């Protein structure tokens, strides 16, 4: 009897193991293994259309397991609060997993790709270097001796707010004693007392400073909000070429630019788009805000991308995948063109950060013209599956065919916040 009982137990165990093995390779488990933990859904979508679940699978609100979610019901109705944590049950009884459903909006934007001139008037005077001149005590730079450093921003001199280099020169030349400088350095403010000295060559009092009160360069328009002409461009901070210091904006304009040529990127040396523009005319927009992710403002007139005249849908960061994509860029005077590339690395992000993806240029036309990613292409839109997914920001110095991208969604949100704040203050 005992032997029979043991034989039955073994047989049942073997049968159960076989059933589990069969189930584990069945449609339900295959479906469950492929199920994402989070799903972002758009208006009109249903669980049925998005996930195509087997008939044995049911969905229930996680906080109330008695409430079943209809698989054919529009998720816009289910997601009234924006996010629902759903529990998944087999045959309505056995919990086998969960998923977070989040409502998404459809947003259509105008993709950029247009090369533009950027002119920024700095907020304060940026110190880019020092110049020694002959004094009664020898060749000296009084500013350097007083503790001023390259990259400092001089905001005031003797309590007078500074807008131009000529202003500071006049205050120093007319001084009869020390000059008190209000300096911004690394996000902190400090006072430095500097003693101007007389230049024996012309008798003028000087500090021996090289300073800059504006900067200019070439970049690329990234996207335009079609509702109010607010735009984002560049994808990274505007930095001084000599010191690397981030430029603080007082005012600025976006200008029509002409491409004169391109120096190609090679390993160890980034290339550059060479362009020209006039500061006196051809203004196409204002620069109202800057940050580490680009420049923002309003275009004076509506601009239409000739490749996508009706605009494109904005993609969300979680939609990024490895594989084929497209860059829109202006690298000659023929205007905006589309070039093939591929996304080779994706960094998953839940908040704005500079390095969202790595791309590699595969289009021989662009490689022949530029060698890959070059300075001036910063801000070029990245499209995947017909949606605006990213913005080119930096080249990989030792792999010039590759570059980093910022997620376009983050730039769009920054357009909304930066431009709205600028509009509120005029």
**Predicted local confidence at residue 26, as pLDDT:** 61
Is residue 378 among the annotated active site residues? yes
pLDDT tens digits in sequence order for the chain, 426 residues long? 566 666 665 656 655 554 445 445 567 777 777 777 777 776 667 777 777 788 788 877 766 555 667 777 766 666 665 677 778 888 777 788 888 877 777 899 999 999 999 999 999 999 999 999 999 999 999 999 999 999 999 999 999 999 999 999 999 999 999 999 999 998 899 999 999 999 999 999 999 999 999 999 999 999 999 999 999 999 999 998 888 888 989 999 999 999 999 999 999 999 999 999 988 778 999 999 999 999 999 999 999 999 999 999 999 998 899 999 999 999 998 999 999 999 999 998 878 888 999 999 999 999 999 999 999 999 999 999 999 999 999 999 999 999 999 999 999 999 988 766 655 444
Q: What pLDDT was estimated at residue 420?
A: 60
334 classed as catalytic: no
**Triad 383, 385, 391: Cα angle to 5°:** 15
- What is the reported pLDDT for 16? 57
Q: Whole-angstrom Cα distance, residue 206 to residue 113? A: 45
Q: Which residues contact 149 (CB under 8 A, 6 or more apart)?
A: 127, 185
CA separation for the pair 191, 157 (Å, rounded): 10
Sequence-distant (6+) residues with CB within 8 A of 81 are: none
What pLDDT does residue 186 have? 85
With contact defined as beta carbons under 8 Å apart, do 411 and 290 qualify? no
φ, ψ (nearest 5 deg) of residue 351: -150, 165
153 contacts 183 by C-beta, under 8 angstroms: yes
Q: SS3 string of the chain?
A: CHHHHHHHHHHHHHHHHHHHHHHHCCHHHHHHHCCCCEEEECCCCCHHHHHCCCCCEEEEECCCCCCEECCCCCHHHHCCCCEEEEEEEECCCEEEEEEEEEECCCCEEEECCCEEEEEEEEEEEEEEEECCEEECCEEECHHHHHCCCCCCEEEEECCEECCCHHHHHHHHHCCCCCEEEEEEECCEEEEEEECCEECCCCCCEECCEEEEEEEEEEEEEEEECCCCCEEEECCCCCECCCCCCECCEEEEEEEECEEEEEECCECCECCEEEEECCCCCCEEEECCEEECCEEEEEECCCCCCCCCCCCEEECCHHHCCCEEEEEEECCCCCCCEEEEEEEEEECCCCCCCCCCEEEEECCHHHHHHHCCCCECCCCCEEEECCEEEEEEEEEECCEEEEEEEEEHHHHHHHHHHHHHHHHHCC
Check residue 1 and give its pLDDT: 59
The two tokens of residue 409 are: 């969604």
150, 267 Cβ separation under 8 angstroms: no
Integer Cα distance of 410 and 296 in angstroms: 13
pLDDT at 121: 93
CA atoms within 13 A on the CB side of 113: 28
Does the active-site annotation cover 119?
no
Among candidate residues 236, 330, 380, 418, the one labeled active-site is 236
State the pairing for strand pair 399-407/94-103.
unpaired
The pTM score is: 0.78
Q: What is the pLDDT of residue 424?
A: 46
CA distances from 229 to 146, 204, 301 (A): 47, 49, 7
- Give dist(CA 152, CA 167) in Å, integer: 17
Place of tokens 């005012």: 251
Over residues 12-32, the pLDDT tens digits come to 665 555 444 544 556 777 777
Two tokens at 82?
């924006």
Q: Given 214, 251, 363, 420, which residue is catalytic?
A: 363
């Amino acid at each position: 009897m005992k032997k029979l009982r043991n034989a039955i137990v073994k047989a049942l165990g073997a049968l159960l193991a076989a059933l589990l093995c069969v189930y584990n390779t069945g449609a339900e488990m295959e479906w469950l293994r492929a199920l994402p933990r989070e799903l972002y859904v758009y208006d009109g979508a249903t669980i049925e259309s998005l996930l195509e679940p087997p008939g044995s699978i049911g969905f229930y609100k996680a906080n109330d397991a008695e409430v079943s979610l209809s698989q054919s019901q529009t998720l816009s109705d289910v997601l009234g609060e924006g996010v629902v944590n759903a529990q998944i049950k087999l045959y309505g009884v056995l919990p086998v997993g969960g998923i977070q459903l989040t409502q998404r909006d459809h947003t259509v934007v105008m993709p950029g790709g247009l090369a533009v001139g950027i002119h920024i008037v700095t907020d304060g005077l940026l110190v880019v270097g020092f110049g020694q001149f002959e004094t009664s005590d020898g060749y000296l730079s009084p500013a350097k001796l007083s503790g001023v450093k390259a990259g400092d921003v001089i905001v005031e001199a003797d309590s007078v707010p500074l807008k131009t280099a000529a202003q500071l020169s006049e205050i120093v030349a007319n001084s009869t004693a020390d000059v008190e400088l209000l300096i911004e350095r690394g996000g902190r403010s400090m006072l430095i007392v500097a003693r101007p000295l007389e230049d024996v060559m012309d008798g003028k009092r000087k500090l021996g400073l090289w300073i800059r009160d504006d900067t200019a360069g070439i970049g690329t328009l990234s996207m335009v909000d079609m509702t109010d002409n607010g735009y984002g461009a560049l994808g990274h901070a505007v930095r001084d070429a000599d010191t690397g210091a981030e430029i603080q904006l007082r005012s600025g304009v976006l200008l029509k630019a002409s491409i004169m040529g391109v120096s190609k990127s090679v390993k160890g040396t980034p290339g550059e788009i060479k362009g020209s523009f006039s500061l006196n005319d051809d203004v196409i927009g204002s620069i109202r805000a800057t940050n580490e992710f680009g420049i923002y403002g309003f275009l004076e007139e509506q601009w239409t991308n000739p490749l996508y005249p009706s605009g494109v849908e904005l993609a969300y960061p979680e939609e990024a995948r490895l594989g084929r994509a497209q860059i829109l860029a202006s690298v000659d005077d023929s205007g905006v063109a589309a070039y093939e590339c591929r996304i080779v690395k994706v960094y998953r992000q839940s908040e704005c950060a500079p390095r969202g993806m790595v791309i590699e240029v595969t289009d021989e036309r662009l490689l022949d013209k530029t060698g890959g990613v070059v300075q001036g292409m910063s801000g070029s839109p990245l499209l995947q599956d017909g949606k605006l997914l990213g913005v080119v920001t930096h080249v990989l110095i030792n792999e010039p065919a590759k570059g980093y991208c910022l997620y376009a969604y983050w730039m769009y949100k920054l357009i909304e916040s930066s431009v709205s704040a600028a509009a509120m203050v005029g």
